[in-house]
Structure 1
Amino acid sequence: MSRSAAPRGRGPGPGVRPRPPRAHPGGVTARPDSGGPASDAMAQVLARATVGVVAAVGGYAGGVYLRCGQPGQLRMAALMGLPGPLFRPWWRMNLSRPYPVAESYRTGQSVHLPDAEAAMRRFPQLMAGLPFPFASMFEPVTSGAERFGVMMALRAATPGVPVAPEDRERMRRAADRLAGELAELAAAGDPVLWDGDPLYTERPDASGGALEAVERLEQGLLSLDRQGRIGFVNAAAERLLGTTGPELRGRVLWEALPWLGHPAYEDHFRAVFMSTEPVHFPARRGRRTPAEWVSVDLYPGIDGVTMTIGATDQPAYAPASMARPGGGLGSPADRASALYRPVALAIALTEAVTARQVSAVVTEELLPAFGGRQLAIYLLNERHLHLAWETGFPQGFLDRFDGVGLDVRLPGVETLTTGRPLFFESMEHLAAAYPGIPLDAHVGARAFLPLIASGRPVGSCILGFDAPRGFSPEERTVLTALAGLIAQALERARRYDSEAALARGLQSGLLPHRLPVHDQVDTVGRYLPGTQGMDVGGDWYDVVETGGGRLALVIGDVQGHGVAAAATMGQLRSSVRAFALTGSTPQQVMRGTNQLLSDLDPGQFASCCYVVLDPATGTAEAVRAGHPQPLLRHPDGRTEVLDLAGGVVLGIDPEAEYPVTELRLAPGSVLALYTDGLVEKPGIDIDVGVERLRRLLAAARPDPLTETADRLISEAGNSADRPDDIALLLACRTGGAA
């Protein structure tokens, strides 16, 4: 939900007026937030089902998502126990998003999340937007092959205790009953689709009354129903707020008291309606000068929320937009709280592949959003924390903490071992909590965040600020949620780095470490891995001495990257080498390799060029399987792109044929075989790259051949954004001693 001022009728702020309720059988009351599209029959069905499932599982809120006219989306059709406008960002659910509602619908399976930790492990984006302690249950609403939507229920969290089997069964039965009724409506011609705002359902016994004893309290007290409407106001609240009970009762809180509709308070109210834990925060009342502050305490219950309010002093660290109303969201902290959504960082983290890239994203996205200047990330390895990334700290200051064990009393260690984030409003507070800890020259605040992914410790993150400052509840919950996302990205990057190292090692072992030395032919090979994504591919080259003194020159490119591509490359190289050593003709070599790849891994493809050269005469036979055309530099420097007949890439058609083209290399000629990574650039036609390579080869001195190879590959090697790997094989017929 946007933290900016809510437009009229679209948020918890001013202008949200309740609509007249509609009575349904059984005492259930439903009220649409903005006029639903449902027939009365469907409204009755949804109202009964929502109240029934919440009661069945002992919850305090629930709802139903149904299909809508927009493909690939669900819309919230019924809601109970939560103020609808406060949760408007979740009214529409895209089925491709990683949320429990979407997963339950896609898979047709139940999703049960007993606590925030379980939800964070499976659905970090959900908890990033709603970082509150609550339990949730989601059940697909299905009748036969027809899937109408998803039923959900919220209740108090049970940390470490899974949802009981009997509650799972109650939820399943409630969803089955709803599915049956919806199927009957559909059969009667009432389409089960929802394209409007949710229908709000109330408990039959919802009440805003209070005992006479509260009138004797000096503290203001108000009772709110689960939609946020004021039901009771005691005399102390009337005096403090300067209004009367009749003016407040029946109105939505944020309409009656607009200053409580400020975006900085939205997460407080979400928290109290989503969980069963009390919420406390200071609020600035209106725009009065001098500032008038009140303490707000919220106590949730099944039927509503009790709110107490009393005068208080201005907090030590008040957000700038609260201390200076009308000035907008001016400070970095306010901008972070109101505008920076954890999902934005999550999206950026999905693009980061390596640990260094993850750290760079955190530096670029997280620090500016919260006004931070310093960042350090430590990763856990064999019970020691090692510095993986730092920015903003004095040079060498963090070296003393590199490699510390988990038994050392330091905040960066304790935040990981306890799983609890640590916030210090100034360096004085940090020094008092950890006497003797080395401090840098900065005097600002510090935040220490545990990096834990799916219950596994990954490391710790340190945020530094130039000046003392407080950390609002919103910032603490957001930073804690973000730490979980960062940890998951780092854990993914660590697995990726391990796989990349394995693939590089595998490929290094499979590529030839040296090429055969021949007195009439010089050969030079080069290989460069791609830099975009830091992944290895399946490019390879080889030179094989066959019978009769001939040389087989081979180059190939397996589709894809990673361990699988490198392994396939090794199998193909071995296959080509084996066929070549048996004296097979070029056509037989290519045909046999094609059949082998088709049998080994249907769906895996590779291109290849195979040339058999007789060094004594310079005659050659070549076959090509979907590979770029080789280049031939004649002794006089004239360089041409050869026109070899070719067949389809390997692995497509087991019966494919590969025609042979005959060539002749005069003494001093240079044959260049290469993979497409050397000539392809994003957005540029491959023919442009081939022509550039042809000119480079024409201008190069053929002797020594190593310098020619280095020159041809140097331009591509200097690119920092190379999506593909590169293989190059040069063969020069000397006609004499090497």
Structure 2
Amino acid sequence: MTRSTRRITRQTATLVWLAAVAAAVVVCVGLDPVDTPFTALMVPLLLGALVLGPRQLPWFLGWMAAMLGVAVALQPERSARILGASLIQAVMILIVLAVAVRRGRLGVGGMAGESMFVDLRDRLLDQGRMPHLPSGWHVEAALRSAGGTPFAGDFVVSTRTADGRFEVALVDVSGKGEAAGTRALMLSGAFGGLLGALPADRFLPAANDYLLGQAWEEGFATAIHLSLDLATGVAEVRTAGHPPAVHRLAGSGRWNVMAAGGGILGLDPDMDFPVARVQLAPGDAVLLYTDGVVEQPRLDIDLGIDRLLGDAEQILRGGADGTASRLVADLGSESDDRAVVLVSRA
């Protein structure tokens, strides 16, 4: 028996069990309407809405409508008093039916549908997990979505290549929170496949071509791509309409902006993405971030970058661990998605 067949069998068994419960409630209402509330029919109705799939739920709702009619017919002397409760339950059945039709179009239903979205969220978060780097290198990433929702328009993909390079891309999809979550999920899978499979200078052009091919109404994104040679410490940074990376020089404690330029992804097929190169010496660090970290209402973005660098310098003096998480927690606006990636050399 296949997995889908077993799932259908379980759903059918659940349908039969809930139908029996509804019938038992109706019998109890008919035998003892005083001690058995008429509204007890709401219990199997809500259980069915939660656990039944899009195929079984309409049949169950039809059965519930029939049980509602039987329950009313069994109490002719109370029909006037329970008219309001009957109408409310009928409306609830119609509401659940409307939800079932919508879920049927999506091909999901009940708790299984919610589990699917939880799985999608977890996959998006898994894409942002950093690979293990050799001794002497430290990398961490932190993301926080607008309003604290599980889905965000910012995401990170990273990889280590066979030739000894570490590559990471931080992407900001158009929109915020859940509205951008589905696009971010799709792009994270595509960009994760491109990262490391192409030469560093071909990643952003390929990502741009992919976005253009989707023809989405809101199909643009900004991105920043870091390619680091773990043996030499040479880092290449390319941006696509994204806030610039910043480089910390351990010797002086200064931060230099790595302005590389490059247009927004998904708008122009003929886009160039210039490169900015730095040599990471021991104690140096590179910080990538999204605009939600440095942009706030009535605050110039340059002031936002200055505040980011001031906080980052103060935190890094106590060690690199936890820097990204503290920055996304302390900076930016709660109404915008925020993400930070920190790469440092010990």
SS of 1:711's equivalent in the other structure is helix
1:383 is aligned to 45
Please list the CA deviations of residues 133-187 of structure 1 after superposition, one character each: whole Å capped at 9, or x if unmatched. Answer: xxxxxxxxxxxxxxxxxxxxxxxxxxxxxxxxxxxxxxxxxxxxxxxxxxxxxxx
Please list the CA deviations of residues 175-229 of structure 1 after superposition, one character each: whole Å capped at 9, or x if unmatched. Answer: xxxxxxxxxxxxxxxxxxxxxxxxxxxxxxxxxxxxxxxxxxxxxxxxxxxxxxx
> Are 2:128 and 2:141, in contact at CA under 8 Å, matched by a contact in 1?
no
Q: Does 1:522 align with 2:166?
A: no
Q: How far 1:544 moved relative to its partner?
A: 1.0
Alpha-carbon distance in structure 2 between the residues aligned to 1:615 and 1:523: 12
Instruction: Tell me: CA distance 1:616–1:457, structure 2 relative to 1, closer, same or farther (3 Å).
Output: closer
> Are 1:702 and 1:708, in contact at CA under 8 Å, matched by a contact in 2?
no
Alpha-carbon distance in structure 2 between the residues aligned to 1:714 and 1:726: 9
SS of 2:261's equivalent in the other structure is coil
Q: How far 1:554 moved relative to its partner?
A: 1.3
Q: How far 1:660 moved relative to its partner?
A: 1.4
Q: Does 1:726 align with 2:341?
A: no
Q: Which residue identity does 2:183 align to in structure 1?
A: T
SS of 1:553's equivalent in the other structure is strand
Bigger share in strand: 1
1:658 is aligned to 273
Alpha-carbon distance in structure 1 between the residues aligned to 2:113 and 2:291: 24
Instruction: Summarize the alignment of residues 456-475 of structure 1 with structure 2, pairs less than 5 Å apart.
Output: 456=95
Q: Which runs of 5+ in 2 are unaligned?
A: 1-41, 48-67, 72-81, 98-108
2:206 is aligned to 592
Q: Which residue identity does 1:689 align to in structure 2?
A: G
TM-score when normalising by structure 1: 0.32
Instruction: Summarize the alignment of residues 17-32 of structure 1 with structure 2, pairs less than 5 Å apart.
Output: none
Please list the CA deviations of residues 508-552 of structure 1 after superposition, one character each: whole Å capped at 9, or x if unmatched. Answer: 3123363211123211111112118x4733211122112311100
Q: How far 1:562 moved relative to its partner?
A: 5.8
Please list the CA deviations of residues 232-272 of structure 1 after superposition, one character each: whole Å capped at 9, or x if unmatched. Answer: xxxxxxxxxxxxxxxxxxxxxxxxxxxxxxxxxxxxxxxxx
Instruction: Tell me: CA distance 1:656–1:554, structure 2 relative to 1, closer, same or farther (3 Å).
Output: same
> Are 2:240 and 2:273, in contact at CA under 8 Å, matched by a contact in 1?
yes
Aligned-pair identity in percent equals 28
Rg (Cα) greater in structure: 1
2:312 is aligned to 697
Alpha-carbon distance in structure 2 between the residues aligned to 1:526 and 1:634: 22
Alpha-carbon distance in structure 1 between the residues aligned to 2:206 and 2:173: 16
Instruction: Tell me: CA distance 1:571–1:732, structure 2 relative to 1, closer, same or farther (3 Å).
Output: same
> Are 1:641 and 1:694, in contact at CA under 8 Å, matched by a contact in 2?
no
1:622 is aligned to 237
> Are 1:634 and 1:668, in contact at CA under 8 Å, matched by a contact in 2?
yes
Q: Say which structure, 1 or 2, has more relative contact order (CA 8 Å, 6+ apart).
A: 2
1:711 is aligned to 326
Q: How far 1:671 moved relative to its partner?
A: 1.2
Instruction: Tell me: CA distance 1:574–1:602, structure 2 relative to 1, closer, same or farther (3 Å).
Output: same
SS of 1:551's equivalent in the other structure is strand
> Are 1:555 and 1:673, in contact at CA under 8 Å, matched by a contact in 2?
yes
**Equivalent residue for 1:419, pick from 67, 87, 95:** 87
Please list the CA deviations of residues 50-75 of structure 1 after superposition, one character each: whole Å capped at 9, or x if unmatched. Answer: xxxxxxxxxxxxxxxxxxxxxxxxxx
Instruction: Tell me: CA distance 1:677–1:571, structure 2 relative to 1, closer, same or farther (3 Å).
Output: same
Q: How far 1:569 moved relative to its partner?
A: 2.2
Q: Which residue identity does 1:523 align to in structure 2?
A: V
SS of 1:566's equivalent in the other structure is helix
Alpha-carbon distance in structure 2 between the residues aligned to 1:611 and 1:599: 24
Q: How far 1:640 moved relative to its partner?
A: 2.0
Instruction: Tell me: CA distance 1:580–1:707, structure 2 relative to 1, closer, same or farther (3 Å).
Output: closer
SS of 2:191's equivalent in the other structure is helix
Q: How far 1:700 moved relative to its partner?
A: 1.5
Q: Which runs of 5+ in 1 are unaligned?
A: 1-379, 386-405, 408-413, 421-449, 459-494
SS of 1:706's equivalent in the other structure is coil
Q: Which residue identity does 2:123 align to in structure 1?
A: G
> Are 1:503 and 1:563, in contact at CA under 8 Å, matched by a contact in 2?
no
1:551 is aligned to 166
Alpha-carbon distance in structure 1 between the residues aligned to 2:129 and 2:150: 24
Q: Does 1:646 align with 2:269?
A: no
Alpha-carbon distance in structure 2 between the residues aligned to 1:707 and 1:585: 31
Instruction: Summarize the alignment of residues 31-70 of structure 1 with structure 2, pairs less than 5 Å apart.
Output: none
1:111 is aligned to none
Bigger share in helix: 2
Instruction: Tell me: CA distance 1:513–1:576, structure 2 relative to 1, closer, same or farther (3 Å).
Output: closer
Q: How far 1:653 moved relative to its partner?
A: 0.5
Alpha-carbon distance in structure 2 between the residues aligned to 1:415 and 1:665: 77
Alpha-carbon distance in structure 1 between the residues aligned to 2:282 and 2:322: 19
SS of 2:316's equivalent in the other structure is coil
Instruction: Provide the alpha-carbon RMSD of the alignment.
Output: 3.5
Instruction: Tell me: CA distance 1:623–1:601, structure 2 relative to 1, closer, same or farther (3 Å).
Output: same
Alpha-carbon distance in structure 2 between the residues aligned to 1:623 and 1:703: 29
Q: Which residue identity does 2:140 align to in structure 1?
A: V
Alpha-carbon distance in structure 1 between the residues aligned to 2:157 and 2:243: 17
Q: How far 1:454 moved relative to its partner?
A: 10
Q: Which residue identity does 1:510 align to in structure 2?
A: L
Instruction: Summarize the alignment of residues 55-94 of structure 1 with structure 2, pairs less than 5 Å apart.
Output: none
Alpha-carbon distance in structure 2 between the residues aligned to 1:504 and 1:572: 18
Instruction: Summarize the alignment of residues 549-588 of structure 1 with structure 2, pairs less than 5 Å apart.
Output: 549-561=164-176, 565-582=180-197, 584-588=198-202
> Are 1:525 and 1:727, in contact at CA under 8 Å, matched by a contact in 2?
yes
**Equivalent residue for 2:122, pick from 499, 508, 518:** 508
Alpha-carbon distance in structure 1 between the residues aligned to 2:284 and 2:114: 38
Alpha-carbon distance in structure 2 between the residues aligned to 1:570 and 1:589: 18
> Are 2:130 and 2:158, in contact at CA under 8 Å, matched by a contact in 1?
yes
Instruction: Tell me: CA distance 1:561–1:415, structure 2 relative to 1, closer, same or farther (3 Å).
Output: farther
Q: How far 1:601 moved relative to its partner?
A: 2.8
TM-score when normalising by structure 2: 0.64
Q: How far 1:623 moved relative to its partner?
A: 0.7
Q: How far 1:577 moved relative to its partner?
A: 3.0
SS of 1:554's equivalent in the other structure is strand
Q: Which residue identity does 1:383 align to in structure 2?
A: L
